[in-house]
Structure 1
Amino acid sequence: MNNWQRAVLIMQRPINLKKRKRLPIAIQATLFETLADLLGNGFSFQQAFQFAVDVEGPAFQSLQPVLVRLAAGDELSTALRPYIAVDLYYQFLIAETHGELRHTLTQAGQLMRARAEQARQIRRLLQYPCLLLVLLLGTLGLVKSAILPSLDAGSSVSGTIPPWQWIGGVSIVILGISLLGLGLKVKHLPIRRRYHWLARLPLVGPLIKNYCGYYLSLNAGMLLTGGLGIRGICEVSQQFQPKALIYQQGQVVERALLSGASLMTIIQNDRLLPDELALLVGKESPTEQLSQELLYFATLQYERLIRQLNRLISWIQPVMFGVIALVVVGTYMSLLLPMYQSMGEILK
């Protein structure tokens, strides 16, 4: 039984979602980076994993079952299957089949590390604006509950809420409910359809497109390295679990090829795939050269994705301060204007 036959048998095993114990992003980053370094220094999978569990402390103790699976002869991707995302599992499985696991672990660790660092950066950037917002809302509640009632008691101005406040409040509630419903609907879409929908959004769209370009180019490059053609890649992808992105993408590409469309046209018409990918395919390079170009292109897409994420994060504080400015204006309109009216009534 060759590597691909064994890999296909592994792919066909169902994933039990009830037993999934997804590791936190920061722990995944540390684990993948440590394994990649140890594998590069001559450790076996089992030795590297044992070292990581022993050295990293209590956070890694939940991974003891992985050691049991590795000792029983399972591959690393199979042993980690309950602890990582489905698409990441298939990425590791393909990398193992073609001897690229160390490189893939390094890139996955870097990506997870960047995600964890960006999450910390987002929390840090939100601390000061959120504190200002809380103080402002606290001041708003204090004035509303303590100061305005005493002014209203000495004036003839009605304490009813102005129509514009009713309209604004109802609009915010309707908008919040609509966004929540839309988010739940998008969350339950198949992953490819979800990405297609998100790719239309102005800020999130480029991120989704770059991630899909990175993920699909990397896997296609590794599969081409194994000697598979485009049709072979599509056939292999159909052995994956239906909820995996690579399965759904392979299904779409195979149907389009069977209908007579060229691969270059398919890529150009797919919102999830970058235009540069069509140029690489359109050159009709030999398979070995194309596989290397796709792997290098995946690295470029990864670097572009990280830069875009950092650029998007840099806009968080300006947007939050803009929200605070709107709250200040709303506070002025809802509190200060009635106060001026009440004071005017008192002075008459």
Structure 2
Amino acid sequence: MKNRLTSQQKITFCQLLGDLLTNGFSLQQALYFLQTTDTFPVELVQLVQKNLHSGQSLSKSFAQLNFSADQVLQVALGEMHGGIALTLKGIAKQMLLVQKQRQNFIKAISYPALLLLFLLLILLGMRTLLLPQLLESGMIAVDNPSILFIQAAPWFVIGVLLIGMLLLILWNYWGKKQSYLIKYSFLAKLPLIGRLHRDYYSAYFALEWGKLFDQGLELQQIIACLLATEKESLMKELAASLQQQLVQGQSLAHQLKAYPFLTKEFGQIVQQGEVRGNLGKELLVYSQLVWQRFFARLEFLCSWLQPLVFLLVALLIVSIYVAMLLPLSSGLEGIW
């Protein structure tokens, strides 16, 4: 049995399950309804039902269904604070927005990527077929800059791709040996990606902590809830780190300012909320604002990505024409 749902099935599963729970269905009744709809693989719904019958948590089933670590943690916290229906619908909404941005990204990059591949094939064809004939005819000098460009360009593109693949392999190798705190602190310091990274996790933490504070839980209770979750995650490691520093007498707001993967204003929001006694609601409002900012920035980057890639393609096309025509014109001038 393949314990996987497609991205669209995950969105539908969370949305339907959240809607059914909101409308008064018990968890078992909701799962039985989902089983009869034939929308999802029956064996996967039965797996969730079996886990619940054996006393396992819903978050455990979400981990088996290949939901992300962050989503599994959200479900676990939702079970703890009693807002599982709202949590599931929130996950569905976030996944839908991410899916939309992913589709926009693919649309923006697919056509330029095909053009780049086509240009690479042209350069390889010129290098292997056209250049040898021109060099043998004596019309073009071997050390001509345009000739050197045509010879080097394909290797340059291939080299960039290989370096990119090597960096990904090194990142995966290094990341497996590091804690979540170290990995995500490093990502938050990278240009361009770092800002999106900080917005995403600030909104995510504000949402989950806001719900817990709004339920009336104290900070130590929230930390205990996070440490009790089964799967390792950034939030769990952060809770352990906060617990150690709270014992030393440091305030929560002061500690949060030291983590690079959180925005600078996150600690200020916490400090203001603690003073006013309304921390839960302020974090929930802040979460909505940062989510809006995150997706606005993501959409802005996608909107600029295609023009930039097209500009790069245009420059390559011009370079290829120049590389072909200049040597030929120089050769013709020599003949005349």
Deviates more, 1:93-102 or 1:178-187: 178-187
TM-score normalised by the chain length of structure 1: 0.80
Given candidates 96, 111, 115, the residue that maps to 2:94 is 111
- Alpha-carbon distance in 2 for matches of 1:282, 1:57: 46
**CA displacement 1:208-231 (0-9 Å, x = unmatched):** 111111221222223324543223
Given candidates 13, 34, 41, the residue that maps to 1:52 is 34
Q: Give how far 1:245 is off.
A: 0.9
1:139–1:59 distance in 2 versus 1, CA, 3 Å: farther
Residue-pair matches, total: 329
- The percentage of aligned residue pairs carrying the same residue is 26
For residue 8 of structure 2, what is the aligned residue in structure 1? 26
Structure 1: gaps spanning 5 or more residues? 1-18
Corresponding letter in the other structure for 2:47: P
1:62–1:231 distance in 2 versus 1, CA, 3 Å: closer
Deviates more, 1:68-77 or 1:210-219: 68-77
Given candidates 17, 35, 41, the residue that maps to 2:17 is 35
- Alpha-carbon distance in 2 for matches of 1:288, 1:48: 37
1:255–1:184 distance in 2 versus 1, CA, 3 Å: farther
Question: Does the 8 Å CA contact 1:151/1:343 hold for their aligned counterparts?
Answer: no
- Alpha-carbon distance in 2 for matches of 1:342, 1:54: 76
- Alpha-carbon distance in 1 for matches of 2:113, 2:165: 21
Q: Does structure 1 residue 190 correspond to structure 2 residue 179?
A: yes
Question: Does the 8 Å CA contact 1:209/1:274 hold for their aligned counterparts?
Answer: yes
**CA displacement 1:161-207 (0-9 Å, x = unmatched):** 85566776666666545443433343324333222112122321121
Give the secondary-structure state (helix, strand or coil) at the position aligned to 1:201.
Answer: coil
For residue 46 of structure 2, what is the aligned residue in structure 1? 64
For residue 14 of structure 1, what is the aligned residue in structure 2? none
Give the secondary-structure state (helix, strand or coil) at the position aligned to 1:42.
Answer: coil
TM-score normalised by the chain length of structure 2: 0.83
Corresponding letter in the other structure for 1:180: M
Structure 2: gaps spanning 5 or more residues? none
Deviates more, 1:282-291 or 1:85-94: 282-291
**CA displacement 1:55-101 (0-9 Å, x = unmatched):** 35365654431132234454432332312122221211111121211
Q: Give how far 1:281 is off.
A: 2.1
**CA displacement 1:127-159 (0-9 Å, x = unmatched):** 322233333334334444444443333226455
For residue 313 of structure 1, what is the aligned residue in structure 2? 302
Q: Does structure 1 residue 92 correspond to structure 2 residue 75?
A: yes
- Alpha-carbon distance in 2 for matches of 1:145, 1:174: 18
- Alpha-carbon distance in 1 for matches of 2:116, 2:154: 18
